[in-house]
Amino acid sequence: MNTISPQIQRLLDKQEIYELVCTYCRAVDRLDRDLMRSCYHDDATEKRGFFDGTADAFCDFVVETLHGIASTQHFIGNALIDVDGDTAYGEIYLTAQHRLVVDGTEKDLFVGGRYIDRYERRQGVWKIAFRTERHDWTRTEDACEDWTRANPAALLGERGPQDLVFRRDLLRKMK
């Protein structure tokens, strides 16, 4: 009989939670509501100040709010995850960029902050049970797209299922 040591199991749990956090960021940036919702337990809640409520309502809020924004990118930095049995606590540093149009001018809003989470393993699967986000700083500046505008052949990301990350059928054929 193979048994996994508690230290190895803790590492596996932390990795699963880290991948959950990365999946959440992908879902937000690709505006994939179903993928985002899959990161939460059914009874999960969010408390962000500008939004407090259920995970279902939060996912709807994110898609509706970000739909009018040209692009977002969420970057994960330090990921401190403390596993305690079937519950874990996370402090996940993030930097997020949002491309906005303000009075006809493209702007980039940068947010530095942290997700402070409680994860729970239920039926063998880790998901978010509670999340709050704390902003440590923000900055807004005029957007600068000199390089991509000067290089019209540059390959750009897309939102939704047409983005290449979701097209493994195409990736298999690429050389």
Does the model's pTM come out above 0.95?
no
In a domain, 1, yes or no: no
How many domains are there within the chain? 1
Question: What is the span of the domain harbouring residue 70?
Answer: 6-173
- Sequence-distant (≥ 6) Cβ neighbours of residue 66 within 8 angstroms: 28, 31, 72, 98
Helix, coil or strand: residue 144: coil
Show the CA angle centred on residue 132, arms to residues 74 and 101, nearest 5°.
45
Run of H or E residues at 27: helix 6-30
In a domain, 104, yes or no: yes
Is residue 39 within 8 A of residue 127, CB to CB? The reply is yes
| pLDDT, one tens digit for every residue, the chain (175 residues) | 568 999 999 999 999 999 999 999 999 999 999 999 999 999 999 999 999 999 999 999 999 999 989 899 999 999 999 999 999 999 999 999 999 888 888 899 999 999 999 999 999 999 999 999 999 999 999 988 777 777 877 777 778 787 877 878 887 887 8
**CATH code of the domain in which 78 resides:** 3.10.450.50
In 3D, which of 124, 17, 38, 4 has the Cα closest to residue 81? 17
